[in-house]
């Protein structure tokens, strides 16, 4: 008698548990920040080049790339560095042309943009600097090159002339007790101011050729005459007398 043998195969499985480490969340990129655009002047003879410097910082220390643009004129030597040289176009007749110069900064992930205006004019040239002040560093030890509330400034005489309407706020240059920033208008103290070299001393973004503590009391009697020791304006027609460019 034969016996029937049945072979039963029981399937089985092996479960392998693989442990995995949870990935840290991806931190969002911090966009670079433009603190300021520093320029050698915002009022220029159209024939003269203007130097512009973009003060930017990336809080993650990413390398930054720069791209400048303008409404008119040309960048001499390229427009992809933090420092560029721009030259405007010729004004029509005696008109003053206003150009917008913009800087765009990127860290490869995000970008930021800022701009300023420059006027190309006919007439004597001066630096629209605002009053001199002592720039203080921020919490990162950086200087932004512009006056912030609380920083020491030096009040200087100005009648705050307004070329748009041809009048002044004061009959004579006067101390007003508040900080006068760049404004696109002529202020008398700007006959003796010019931008400082922030790469040498960032605490003084604006240089003043007289004693700041005298507040204009030490100006020469006829301060409209060109003085080689103190005047910072350009005498375009060489007559020795300042002529506002409007």
The residues spanned by each domain of the chain are 29-122, 123-246
What is the predicted pLDDT for the residue at 215? 98
What is the predicted pLDDT for the residue at 91? 65
What is the predicted pLDDT for the residue at 82? 95
Q: Other C-beta atoms within 10 Å of 114: how many?
A: 17
At the second CATH level, the architecture of 29-122 is Sandwich (2.60)
What's the pTM value of the predicted model, to 2 decimals? 0.57
Measure the CA–CA gap between 242 and 191, rounded to whole angstroms: 9
What is the predicted pLDDT for the residue at 22? 65
What is the predicted pLDDT for the residue at 3? 52
Q: Report which DSSP code applies to 29.
A: P
Q: What is the pLDDT of residues 13-22, one digit of tens each?
A: 555 555 556 6
Q: Tens digit of pLDDT per residue, the chain (246 long)? A: 555 555 555 555 555 555 556 666 777 889 999 999 999 888 777 767 899 999 999 999 999 999 999 988 899 999 999 999 998 876 665 556 788 999 999 999 999 999 999 887 767 888 989 999 999 999 999 999 999 999 999 999 998 866 555 567 888 899 999 999 988 778 999 999 999 988 899 999 999 999 999 999 999 999 999 999 999 998 877 889 998 765
DSSP string computed for 139-183: TTS---SS--TTS-B----B---BTTTTB-SSSS-B--SS-----
What is the predicted pLDDT for the residue at 203? 96
Q: What is the pLDDT of residues 114-158, one digit of tens each?
A: 999 988 776 788 898 999 999 999 999 999 999 999 999 999 999
Q: Can you name the residues that pair with 39 across neighbouring β-strands? A: 52
Question: Is residue 52 within 8 Å of 37, Cβ to Cβ?
Answer: yes
């Amino acid at each position: 008698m034969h016996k029937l043998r049945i072979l039963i195969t029981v399937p089985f499985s092996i479960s392998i548990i693989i442990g995995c480490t949870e990935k840290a969340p991806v931190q969002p990129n911090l966009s670079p920040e433009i603190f300021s655009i520093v320029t050698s002047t915002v009022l220029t003879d159209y024939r003269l080049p203007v130097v512009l410097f973009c003060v930017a910082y990336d809080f993650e220390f990413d390398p930054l790339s720069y791209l400048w643009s303008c409404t008119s004129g040309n960048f001499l030597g390229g427009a992809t560095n933090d420092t560029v040289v721009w030259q405007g176009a010729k004004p029509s007749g005696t008109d003053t042309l206003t150009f917008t110069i913009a800087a765009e900064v990127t860290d490869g992930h995000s970008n930021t943009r800022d701009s300023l205006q420059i006027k190309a004019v006919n007439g004597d040239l001066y630096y629209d600097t605002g009053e001199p002040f002592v720039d203080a560093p921020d919490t990162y030890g950086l200087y932004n090159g512009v006056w912030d509330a609380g920083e020491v400034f030096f009040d200087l005489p100005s009648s705050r002339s307004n070329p748009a309407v041809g009048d002044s706020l004061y009959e004579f240059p006067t101390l007003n007790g508040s900080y006068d920033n760049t404004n696109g208008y002529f202020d008398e103290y700007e006959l003796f101011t010019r931008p400082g070299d922030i790469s040498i001393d960032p605490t003084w973004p604006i240089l003043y050729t007289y004693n700041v503590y005298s507040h204009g009391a030490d100006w020469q009697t006829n301060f409209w005459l060109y003085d080689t020791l103190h005047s910072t304006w350009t005498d375009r027609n060489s007559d020795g007398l300042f002529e506002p460019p409007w």
